[in-house]
Structure 1
Amino acid sequence: MSILFLADLDTEELGRWADALRASLPGEAILTWTGDAASAPATEVLAGVTVAIVANPPPGRLARLPALRLVQSAWAGVDGLLADPALPPVPLARLVDPQLAADMAEAVLGHVMALHRQMPAYRAQQARGAWQPLAQPRMAERRVGVLGMGEMGRASAALLARTGFDVIGWSRRPRAPLPGVAMASGAQGLANVLGAAQILVNLLPLTAQTHGLLGAGAFARMPRGAGLVNAGRGGHVVVPDLLAALDAGQIGHAVLDVFTTEPLPASDPLWRRDDVTITPHVAAPTDPHSAARAIAANIARWRAGEPLVGLVDRSTGY
């Protein structure tokens, strides 16, 4: 039995991941492959792979592993994997790394605080040399909605609440209570969150049900001038609808960390908007060392017959 790290990464990044995985999985035979057909391991080598740890694997490559019994994603999102029609019908686990959740919460707090303290408005005033103090509500008077109550959503909502914001979290199904956070679920819960959130943070996974969720209908429900922070996936946002909402002042400012096409092309009009803040998918970069430890622990659980952390329900995508 062997473990394959199948990752479409450059040589340097592939090496960092391989070193981290070997340090966390001592004694394991770990192969690496970028998925490039010309450099594929021999057929008999692939035939011995039982566990695949994957990061952006090219479609169809996992189908070449006849003994495969587990797919462990090196990323928190698995929408790309689920889009592969040849994905083998074996257990699939997404990455659940406490460090990743902590990093996301830190980024979310930073963006929410910047919107709360009206930094975009002050930057615009600076550009035209205007000295104009703006009325500033207290944090407790600012309602922040967080879409997605998985590990990253719960960590972000909890940090926002501890900081002093009025926080409401939404999930598709009811989730366990979270101190300081009002919880909502289902279609009516989503409508309530959208209607109340002066700043909306999206941390949902991308599924058939959530694709295009942040479109004209959602924006129309939000309080006029609301802020948006999208650190989920680019496919959640209907960009033409967002641009229309920004032009109309329905959305006051949007912070976008993720995009359907990455890197975002230099010609994209989003770059040139004063009411949009762009960051290059950096809200929560995956750290190979902490991720490798989480992955190793999950493989140990699987081998012991224990429940996997982050096991994906393929009918929902998470």
Structure 2
Amino acid sequence: MEIIFYHPTFNAAWWVNALEKALPHARVREWKVGDNNPADYALVWQPPVEMLAGRRLKAVFVLGAGVDAILSKLNAHPEMLDASIPLFRLEDTGMGLQMQEYAVSQVLHWFRRFGDYQALKNQALWKPLPEYTREEFSVGIMGAGVLGAKVAESLQAWGFPLRCWSRSRKSWPGVESYVGREELRAFLNQTRVLINLLPNTAQTVGIINSELLDQLPDGAYVLNLARGVHVQEADLLAALDSGKLKGAMLDVFSQEPLPQESPLWRHPRVAMTPHIAAVTRPAEAIDYISRTITQLEKGEPVTGQVDRARGY
């Protein structure tokens, strides 16, 4: 079995060594320009077109949970990868726990009003504030995939009312499920904290705009953990300035790194991190990839395959 690996920043030698330990019968090599030798599987992140073009691969593994970048490249260069070749994304591989940590910590930060108390501290004001109740602090999750399920599971332990919005109905215990555009308004009207975990598709680009934000309760919060292109940043800032939104926490942006001139840097009710909410954990990724390749070789059912038509 031949496996080729390409990632512009990862330590290729470490990955090659780890994969060969996990799959003793495989020969793994870092792909370099001009390498046209046969391969059975490819592990990639932002691969050049020539790496995959013309290859008769059994499968391609994308070294991340998001596949929007490679799907966009495949649309622009259909010769890059035959449509019959399965494409897999990393399914959780430690990202679920990281998303849980991030989402729970931020929801609790808002719920306990730590930001408000920091502002009072900066003014040297000793002033206890009215507490929120859990009943009025409903959390709505847009995007009900693997990561959305993990976030909902972690928030359940804290007793917040939970709801999710997705393309298909979910039957998660303790979570109200809303489906499609026809149920979006009902989902938003009672959502105090909106967590975005949607995939990046043509249907979701710009979805968090003024029309959507207007349907949230006054004083709502937005937590974006998916993709920057989901948010119309000017509309978000307008909602913050008007008081419609009380705060926003952003891990992703339409342009990264975020330009210095962006008003998001200076807005007092915007907090941000540099796209670190959930990163690839190499050891867990190796475990998932090696297990999935073994299942494919045996003809067993697998999970994590990308539906190219849907975009995730």
Give TM-score, length-normalised by structure 2.
Answer: 0.92
Between the aligned partners of 2:126 and 2:68, the Cα distance in structure 1 is 46
How far is 1:15 from its partner? 3.5
1:301 aligns with 295
Pick from 42, 45, 56 the counterpart of residue 46 of structure 2. 56
SS across alignment from 1:165: coil
Report the CA distance shift for 1:221/1:292 in structure 2 as closer, same or farther (over 3 A). same
8 Å contact kept, 1:171–1:184: yes
Matched, 1:3 2:11: no
8 Å contact kept, 2:33–2:51: no
Give TM-score, length-normalised by structure 1.
Answer: 0.91
1:36 aligns with none
| Deviation digits for residues 64-113 of structure 1 (CA, Å, limit 9, x no counterpart) | 35222311111011000100122412211111035221221121111111
Between the aligned partners of 1:249 and 1:15, the Cα distance in structure 2 is 51
Mapping of 1:37-48 within 5 angstroms?
A: 39-43=32-36, 45=37, 48=38
1:236 aligns with 230
2:120 aligns with 125
Between the aligned partners of 1:136 and 1:3, the Cα distance in structure 2 is 56
Between the aligned partners of 1:119 and 1:8, the Cα distance in structure 2 is 39
SS across alignment from 2:42: strand
Report the CA distance shift for 1:120/1:181 in structure 2 as closer, same or farther (over 3 A). same
Report the CA distance shift for 1:245/1:20 in structure 2 as closer, same or farther (over 3 A). farther
Between the aligned partners of 2:13 and 2:214, the Cα distance in structure 1 is 47
8 Å contact kept, 2:44–2:62: yes
8 Å contact kept, 1:50–1:70: yes
The code of the aligned residue for 2:33 comes to A
The code of the aligned residue for 1:51 comes to Y
The code of the aligned residue for 1:27 comes to H
Unpaired runs of at least 5, structure 1:
34-38
How far is 1:117 from its partner? 1.3
Between the aligned partners of 2:236 and 2:14, the Cα distance in structure 1 is 38
Between the aligned partners of 1:261 and 1:56, the Cα distance in structure 2 is 17
Mapping of 1:161-200 within 5 angstroms?
A: 161-175=156-170, 177-200=171-194
Mapping of 1:259-270 within 5 angstroms?
A: 259-270=253-264
2:28 aligns with 30
1:71 aligns with 60
The code of the aligned residue for 1:21 comes to L
Mapping of 1:135-174 within 5 angstroms?
A: 135-174=130-169
| Deviation digits for residues 178-231 of structure 1 (CA, Å, limit 9, x no counterpart) | 122122111133222211110000111111111111111111111111001000
SS across alignment from 2:178: strand
Matched, 1:313 2:307: yes
8 Å contact kept, 2:165–2:184: yes
| CA RMSD after TM alignment | 1.7
8 Å contact kept, 1:173–1:186: yes
Between the aligned partners of 1:16 and 1:251, the Cα distance in structure 2 is 45
8 Å contact kept, 2:93–2:280: no
The code of the aligned residue for 1:14 comes to A
Between the aligned partners of 1:42 and 1:83, the Cα distance in structure 2 is 24
Between the aligned partners of 2:258 and 2:202, the Cα distance in structure 1 is 23
